Amino acid sequence: MAAPSHTAAPAEEKNLEMRVIRVGTRKSQLARIQTDSVVAMLKTLNPGLQFEIRDKILDTALSKIGEKSLFTKELEHALERNEVDLVVHSLKDLPTVLPPGFTIGAVCKRENPYDAVVFHPKFVGKTLETLPEKSVVGTSSLRRAAQLQRKFPHLQFKSIRGNLNTRLQKLDELQEFSAIILAAAGLQRMGWQNRVGQILHPEDCMYAVGQGALGVEVRAKDQDMLDLVGMLHDPETLLCCIAERAFLRHLEGGCSVPVAVHTAIKDGQLYLTGGVWSLDGSESMQETMQATIAVPAQHEDGPEDDPQLVGITAQNIPRVAQLAAENLGTSLANLLLNKGAKSILDVARQLNDAH
């Protein structure tokens, strides 16, 4: 496999310069901001290339099971039909197994992965701990609700849906919610840092797999696009997210069950903490494991038959480090499963499906 390179081969560059690179996105403010940021990075690295952003409007009725997954499918159809060349997603919205023919060609540098609390104007200056008894906190996430119910039993947690703009509007204009929980990265990207009243650290609420990172999806066989977007891989974020995604995949988790993680890289060691919760947070299980990922920057592996790991292709990052990260995630999932995590997840899944 070739050593990491930040310059495209002249022939390939010329090949790409002859076409306009079409970028698919959802027609939402946050999706557009995220897409624009990725296009800006690609333009900086490839000043000669032309990009065109295509908004995808979803005309299907949106169901409980997945506004996001429906949008993902629509954008993948556009990729499949060769209407777009790449699609930018929040990595946490992408399943750990992608449909055949697609791959995540870039995992961009992670922004703040933590969750943030935004308070109703009358509770500004408070924290979740100091909110009045029976205050209602809005979140669309089973993961957040399960962890926070356990930590803050004096609060009530209620589902709140819609995009960021809609949720903030519901918080401010209705008297229903005292606070809502959102991903800090989304608020930062929207320029709404001033609304953040509290950041939730792992001891209060671990984050979702891939949270805070952007993933760029391309056709798995489109080598031109893989070479182009592969320049955006952030090695540390990539390895953390491979470990997290492997953990989730092996648990067979998803949005329908409370699974959360925390990762850190220090002195060549990747530390992964993962946990599972019952829907009401009364039962939980979490463990931490670590793996060595310090490897030479260049390596002599030959090409792989299937270079994807948990849906990600990273040809310019040492394979041995990627495999160590994947193995860490799988090993941690096995540890939890051996301790009885499956029964917690099965009950959570059944209860959620019944709603």
- How confident is the model over 260-315, as pLDDT tens digits? 999 999 999 999 999 999 999 999 999 999 999 975 454 445 455 567 899 999 99
Q: Could you tell me if 276 and 302 lie in one domain?
A: yes
pLDDT of residue 307: 77
Query: Any bridge partners for residue 26, and if so which?
Result: 56
pLDDT of residue 64: 40
pLDDT of residue 13: 54
Q: Tell me: the pLDDT tens digits for 27-69?
A: 889 999 999 999 999 999 999 999 999 986 554 433 344 555 6
Give a yes or no: residue 77 inside a domain.
yes
Last residue of a domain, one of 199, 230, 250: 199
Q: Could you tell me if 89 and 129 lie in one domain?
A: no
Distance in angstroms (rounded) separating the CA atoms of residues 202 and 263: 10
Give a yes or no: residue 325 inside a domain.
yes
The CA-based dihedral angle spanning residues 208, 210, 214, 218, taken in that order and rounded to the nearest 10 degrees: -130
| Angle in degrees, CA 194, 106, 33, rounded to 5 | 30
Last residue of a domain, one of 151, 170, 199: 199
Choice among 36, 55, 85, 93 that is catalytic: 93
Give a yes or no: residue 274 inside a domain.
yes
Domain count, the chain: 2
pLDDT of residue 299: 45
Give a yes or no: residue 8 inside a domain.
no
Q: Could you tell me if 176 and 222 lie in one domain?
A: no
Give a yes or no: residue 7 inside a domain.
no
Q: Could you tell me if 223 and 319 lie in one domain?
A: yes
Give percent above pLDDT 70 in the chain: 86
Domain limits for position 229: 20-112+209-354
Low-confidence ranges of the chain (pLDDT < 50): 1-11, 59-65, 296, 298-300, 302
Q: Could you tell me if 103 and 119 lie in one domain?
A: no
Is 93 labeled as catalytic in the residue annotation?
Answer: yes
Element (H, E) at 35: helix 29-45
The whole-chain average pLDDT of the chain stands at: 88
Q: Could you tell me if 151 and 292 lie in one domain?
A: no
Q: Could you tell me if 90 and 132 lie in one domain?
A: no
Give a yes or no: residue 10 inside a domain.
no
The CATH number given to whatever domain includes residue 191 is 3.40.190.10
Last residue of a domain, one of 136, 168, 199: 199
Give Cα 14 to chain centroid, integer Å.
Answer: 33
pLDDT of residue 78: 86
Q: Could you tell me if 124 and 258 lie in one domain?
A: no
Provide the residue count of the chain. Answer: 355
